[in-house]
Structure 1
């Protein structure tokens, strides 16, 4: 007979849409990292045998439980149809200890939706019995949901100030008048002004011409004496 501890009811979305939830996170080799923002409330369920799918129990008869955490990763598996990157972490054994330590390190009381959990398969431990695979060892980091939200940039910031920035933009400088050089077209003069040496020479010529015109200008006539009566 199945007890409430041995059966984990599916979420409303999983029951409606069908399927067994997000794909299971895989840790094939040491150094593999799986993590991301927690997308739904973590659940606790009884572990099941990989081969028979039968519920697992400890030697004293108590059920072997595990924590199921769904995180939004950057992974995309072409063999999974409509893969959105979500992965389920089955937190148990040594991984449970690593995750608990990560939560305590940031002053958290547990995993929460919006927090970021990252798990790394660091190395292999010592096999307890000959012929058995060595147990995988994990490390974990966790960021509180409040800290994740605080450090996530708001995409609307800056956009609301863009029109004001355009409104008060500095006016474009007025085009500089080109000097008049006999025998040269405006295009040729503009090309010459692009060269600093040529521009300086033209400026000297313009200054000399202006000084010559001023020297050739007639001197002002003094007013005639007005007779006194």
Structure 2
């Protein structure tokens, strides 16, 4: 916890929820991602692996279009707790974007795609995720160029970069920007 969070109280933005397959949460990253030890939901105690090492997670705060009337003064920020299979999906998205990691100003979207196979009998099936990341420089370029905004398809409600299709599609990039590397290209449209 940083000094201002301590001073102002509260643990940060509400937690992003992924209740059903197809749920997508994402938006522009508003704070530097933090790595912290996972906690037990019931007891609040720190979690450890069987070998004694701490179970870690990354906390990423994004600005969403979501507003929950049950949350007082909801500004739409949500914390995504990146761990388990979601960590692999986010890491793959960062690599596909040609970035070295998540950064403030970049956009991250995470989608709960389906349930995997239970690893042990009697346990819930693990949630499987897909993610998309656009680096801050590319994200800013797309937001500040009216011509590219006009050429880009309208975003789906809730900022879902996959639209209404259940299958992930390539991330949108402004015309003249490679959607994978973020490099500015000639006048040709980006490959999709």
Deviations along 1:78-104, whole A, 9 cap, x unmatched?
Answer: 000000000000000000000000000
1:67 to 53, 58, 68: 58
1:117 is matched with 108
The corresponding residue for 1:138 is: 129
**1:126 maps to which of 117, 128, 131:** 117
SS at match of 1:103: helix
Taking the TM superposition and a 5 Å limit, the aligned residue runs for 1:205-216 are none
**2:22: which partner in 1?**
31
Which structure: larger Rg?
A: 1
Q: Deviations over 1:41-80 (max 9, x none)?
A: 0000000011111100011100000000000000000000
What TM-score comes out, normalization by structure 2 length? 0.74
SS in 2 for 1:152: helix
Which protein is richer in helix relative to its size? 1
Instruction: Find the counterpart in structure 2 of residue 98 from structure 1.
Output: 89
CA-based RMSD: 1.1
Q: Secondary structure of the residue that 1:87 maps to in structure 2?
A: strand
Distance 2:51 2:80 in 1: 26
Instruction: Give the distance between the partners of 2:51 and 2:144, measured in 1 at CA.
Output: 51
Structure 2 residues not aligned, in runs of 5+ = 147-192
TM-score using structure 1 length? 0.62
- Residues 1:81 and 2:66 are matched in the alignment: no
1:40 aligns with 2:31: yes
Structure 2 residue aligned with 1:12: 3
Distance across 2 between alignment mates of 1:49 and 1:106: 33
Question: Runs of 4 or more off by more than 2 Å in structure 1?
Answer: none
Instruction: Note the C-alpha offset of 1:129.
Output: 1.2
